[in-house]
Structure 1
Amino acid sequence: MGANTLTIAGARDALRRGELSAVDLTMACLTAIDAGDGLNAFVHKTPDIALDQARAADVRIAA
């Protein structure tokens, strides 16, 4: 199962166990968003902000 197909609970558990980083999860989701770009599901994407927030989350998780 890919990181972008996990349930919220599954992602939380993988993050807590250290099996997945927030950056990895975010990158997987951003890749999936780009793959479906033709659907126009997102009006405005902010991958830089998402990755900044993921890095900050990884720091908090590691603390």
Structure 2
Amino acid sequence: MGDEHLGGGVRASAVGELPSGLLITSLVLLERAGASVTLKPEHEETLREEKAAFVRAMG
């Protein structure tokens, strides 16, 4: 994976090393703080599903 910019100061090269749960938590917090997170279209659906599962788990 290259050094693609994901928004909110996050670069994909750093994200590739994060555990999935930490990544989802971080992206949810970034969005709630008003940061924009730009993803490739093929990743948007997966992120949407993971965020929904995270929100359900948090109750």
State TM-score, norm by structure 2: 0.37
Q: Which has the higher helix share?
A: 1
Whose radius of gyration is greater, 1 or 2? 1
State TM-score, norm by structure 1: 0.36
